C-alpha cells in the first residue's frame, strides 16, 4: 500500500505540474478541458500531493493578495474572503470565472492565465486558512438577522453558515460583499443569476438584508 501510494504521488506530481510538450506549444491546458473536480478529489486523497499543491498555491496567491488579503481574509469590505470556504465551492467559482460564466473584469484575466493545477492549488491554499469574522457593531440588528437566517438561510448554508460543496460558506464574510451579492440575486442583476438564491432573496427588504449582513458577517 505505501510504496504504491508513493509511486502514484510521484507520477501525479511529476506529470501535471510540468507542462506537457503538447500544451507547452499552445497555452497552458485550459480549465475548460480539465475536470477540475476530479483533480481536486485526486489531490485531496493524497497527502503528499496535497502539500505540494498547497505550496504551489501559496505562490499563486501572491497575485491575489492585493485584493483578497494575505491568507484570504480580505481587508476590503467589497472583496470576499476566500479563507475557510469549501474548496469544491471555491473551485467551481474559479472555473466559472475561467469560462466567463461568472464575471469580474479586474480578475478574470488573472484567473484565465492559471493552469488547472494552479487553480486547484490556490483554492486549497486559501480554503485551509482560518477566517477572521467581523465584529458585531449593532447587536439588535444582528439579532434580527439571526432570526431571519434561522428561518431561511440555514437550510442551504448550514446552521453555522459553513456551507457545503455546493453552497458557499458565508460565515464571517465581508459586509459589502454580502450586501452586494444579496441585492444582485434579489434584483436579478449581473451575470450571477441563481434560481435558488433568487427565490430565497425575493422577499427580502433592504432592512432584512442589512440585518442578515450584520449577523452573517459576525458568524464564526
Ligand atoms: C483586482 C482585485 C482582485 C484580484 C487581483 C483577485 N480578485 Fe478574486 N475577486 C475580486 C472581487 C471584487 C470579487 C467579487 C466579484 C463579484 O462580485 O462577483 C472576487 C471574487 C473571487 C472569487 C469568488 C468568491 C466567492 O465567495 O464566490 C474567487 C474564488 C476569487 N475571487 C479568486 C481569486 C484568485 C484565485 C485570485 C488570484 C489568482 C484573485 N481572485 C484575484 C477581486 C480580485
Ligand atoms: C435553497 C438553497 C439556498 C438558500 C435557502 C439560500 N441560499 Fe444562498 N446560495 C445558494 C447557492 C446555490 C449559492 C451559489 C449561487 C451561485 O453560484 O451564484 C448561494 C450563494 C449565496 C451567497 C454568495 C456567496 C459567495 O461567496 O459569493 C450569499 C451571500 C448567500 N448565498 C446568502 C444567503 C442568505 C443570506 C440566505 C438567506 C436569506 C440564503 N443565501 C439562502 C443556495 C441557497
Establish whether residue 5 lines the binding site of ligand 2, counting it when its CB lies within 6 angstroms of any ligand atom. no
Lowest mean pLDDT among 4-8, 30-34, 137-141, 190-194: 4-8
CA 142 to chain centre: 24
Q: Which domains does the chain have, with CATH numbers?
A: 30-128 (1.10.760.10), 139-216 (1.10.760.10)
77: helix, coil or strand?
A: coil
Distance 215 CA to ligand 2 centre (A): 15
Establish whether residue 200 lines the binding site of ligand 2, counting it when its CB lies within 6 angstroms of any ligand atom. yes
Distance 49 CA to ligand 1 centre (A): 25
Residue 219 C-beta-side C-alpha neighbours within 13 Å: 26
> What pTM was computed for the model?
0.89
Give residue-wise pLDDT tens across range 30-58. 666 679 999 999 999 999 999 999 999 99
Give residue-wise pLDDT tens across range 55-107. 999 999 999 999 999 999 999 999 999 999 999 999 999 999 999 999 999 99
Query: What is the overall mean pLDDT for the chain?
Result: 88
Amino acid at each position: 500500500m505505501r510504496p504504491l501510494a508513493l509511486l502514484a504521488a510521484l507520477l501525479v506530481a511529476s506529470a501535471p505540474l510540468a507542462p506537457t510538450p503538447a500544451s507547452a506549444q499552445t497555452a497552458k491546458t485550459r480549465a475548460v478541458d480539465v475536470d477540475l473536480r476530479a483533480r481536486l478529489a485526486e489531490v485531496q486523497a493524497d497527502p503528499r500531493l496535497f502539500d505540494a499543491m498547497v505550496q504551489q498555491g501559496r505562490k499563486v496567491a501572491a497575485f491575489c493578495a492585493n485584493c483578497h488579503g494575505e491568507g484570504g481574509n480580505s481587508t476590503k469590505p467589497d472583496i470576499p474572503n476566500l479563507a475557510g470556504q469549501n474548496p469544491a465551492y471555491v473551485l467551481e467559482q474559479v472555473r466559472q470565472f475561467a469560462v466567463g460564466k461568472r464575471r469580474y473584469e479586474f480578475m478574470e484575466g488573472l484567473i484565465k492565465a492559471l493552469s488547472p493545477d494552479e487553480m486547484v492549488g490556490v483554492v486549497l491554499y486559501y480554503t485551509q486558512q482560518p477566517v477572521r469574522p467581523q465584529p458585531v457593531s449593532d447587536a439588535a440588528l444582528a439579532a434580527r438577522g439571526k432570526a431571519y437566517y434561522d428561518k431561511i438561510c440555514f437550510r442551504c448554508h448550514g446552521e453555522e453558515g459553513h456551507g457545503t460543496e455546493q453552497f458557499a460558506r458565508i460565515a464571517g464574510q465581508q459586509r459589502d460583499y454580502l450586501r452586494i451579492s444579496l441585492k444582485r440575486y434579489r434584483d436579478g442583476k449581473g451575470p450571477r443569476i441563481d434560481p435558488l438564491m433568487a427565490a430565497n432573496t425575493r422577499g427580502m427588504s433592504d432592512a432584512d438584508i442589512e440585518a442578515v449582513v450584520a449577523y452573517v458577517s459576525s458568524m464564526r
